[in-house]
Amino acid sequence: MSLSAGGSAYEIWVGTLRAWAEDPHTSLDHLPPLDERSFSPDTYSRLMTHLVRSVEASSRRGVDALSSAFQHSTTPAELEVALVAVRPVLARRTQLVRHPSLPEPVRQTLEDAMRRELERAQQQIEDDLRRQGAGGRLDTDHLDRMLHVVRENRLTVVLERSYADAAGRLEVAPLPLVDRADAPPTRRFRPRRVVSAHSTED
């Protein structure tokens, strides 16, 4: 969904944030740059309140998605699928908090808050799994594998990726830069060279 860019910057931001809080697929592309000096302090404060509410709505969606992921995942593979499926939800929040139209201090504050929240959620997930293990609901091997999956698919990964579209998907793999038509086949092994006492490092 795209909002008209016909209103004031405030109206565009507030309208988009409200829509985005309801539907995270709402496009953020048209948001105009924000500058504290463009608004009165009260107006700017109200706008920040809208921003925080939208972020909180996104956070709740993320928590719900994570809860659902855990409820329906009994095997490591199911958990991995679920954790990867949660990423687009989390990634939408990344797109907002990193939006280039936000002032840098705001971006940094929101991103730091998001990172802390994800790290806390990550820790809670691991603790919860350990509690299940201690309570006998997961055997040691299963617990280790579930923990491995959770660590391998850590939530903070969404802060390390760039996302291409409103669906929050990862970027498409880049096209190869080299023309492979004439490229020789790649050897998988480096030639093995025995090391002697007299060998020198290249």
Partner 1 sequence: MPDSTRVRELLHRYLSARIPLIVIRTIEPNRALELLSSCASQLGTMAYYEYTRTEGIRDLMSGKSVLDEPSLHAALDHARTTFKARINANFVFSDVEEIDQESTTSRHLAEMVRLAESHQGSIILISSAPVWSGLGRLGISVELDLPSAEELAEVLGAMVEDHRGLVDIQWQYDDLRQASEILSGITEMEAINVLATMLAKGKLVPDDLPELSEFKDRIFGDLSGLQRIPLRGEYEVGGLTNLRRWLALREQAMRMDLSHTSFHPPRGVLLVGIPGCGKSLSAKAIATQWNLPLYRLDMAGILGMYVGQSESQLREALATADRVAPCVLWIDEIEKALATGPGDSGTSRRLLGQFLFWLQESTSKVFLVATANEIQSLPPELTRKGRFDEVFFVDLPNASDREEIIRLYFRRYLDHDVAPGLTADLVSLTDGFSGSEIDAVIHDLGLDAQAGGGGLPGDEQIRAHFRNVLPFSKSNPEDIASLRAWGQSRCIPAGDPIDGSAPVGGRRVVLSD
Where do contacts with partner 1 occur on this chain (CB under 8 A)? 75, 77-78, 80-81, 83-84, 87, 149, 152-153, 157, 164, 169-189, 191-196
> For partner 1, which is the closer residue by CB, 60 or 148?
148
Residue type present at position 150:
V
Going 45 to 49 to 52 to 58, the CA torsion angle's sign is negative
Q: Residue 112 — φ and ψ, nearest 5°?
A: -60, -40
170 close to 133: Cβ distance less than 8 angstroms: no
What is the closest distance, in whole angstroms, from the C-beta atom of residue 170 to partner 1 in the complex? 5
In the numeric block, the tokens 């086949």 are attached to 185
What is the closest distance, in whole angstroms, from the C-beta atom of residue 126 to partner 1 in the complex? 16
What is the closest distance, in whole angstroms, from the C-beta atom of residue 89 to partner 1 in the complex? 13
What is the closest distance, in whole angstroms, from the C-beta atom of residue 73 to partner 1 in the complex? 9
What is the closest distance, in whole angstroms, from the C-beta atom of residue 139 to partner 1 in the complex? 17
Q: Please state, in angstroms and as integers, the Cα–Cα distance from residue 75 to each residue in 70, 128, 142, following that order.
A: 10, 15, 8
> For partner 1, which is the closer residue by CB, 40 or 199?
199
> For partner 1, which is the closer residue by CB, 57 or 121?
121
> For partner 1, which is the closer residue by CB, 19 or 81?
81
Q: Extract the tokens encoding 70.
A: 């855990």
Q: Please give the span between the terminal C-alpha atoms of the chain, in angstroms, as a whole number.
A: 59
What is the closest distance, in whole angstroms, from the C-beta atom of residue 165 to partner 1 in the complex? 9
> For partner 1, which is the closer residue by CB, 105 or 176?
176
> For partner 1, which is the closer residue by CB, 10 or 126?
126
Q: What is the C-alpha to C-alpha distance for residues 164 and 185, in angstroms, rounded to an integer?
A: 32
Q: What single DSSP character describes residue 36? A: G
169 close to 178: Cβ distance less than 8 angstroms: no
Q: What is the C-alpha to C-alpha distance for residues 55 and 109, in angstroms, rounded to an integer?
A: 12
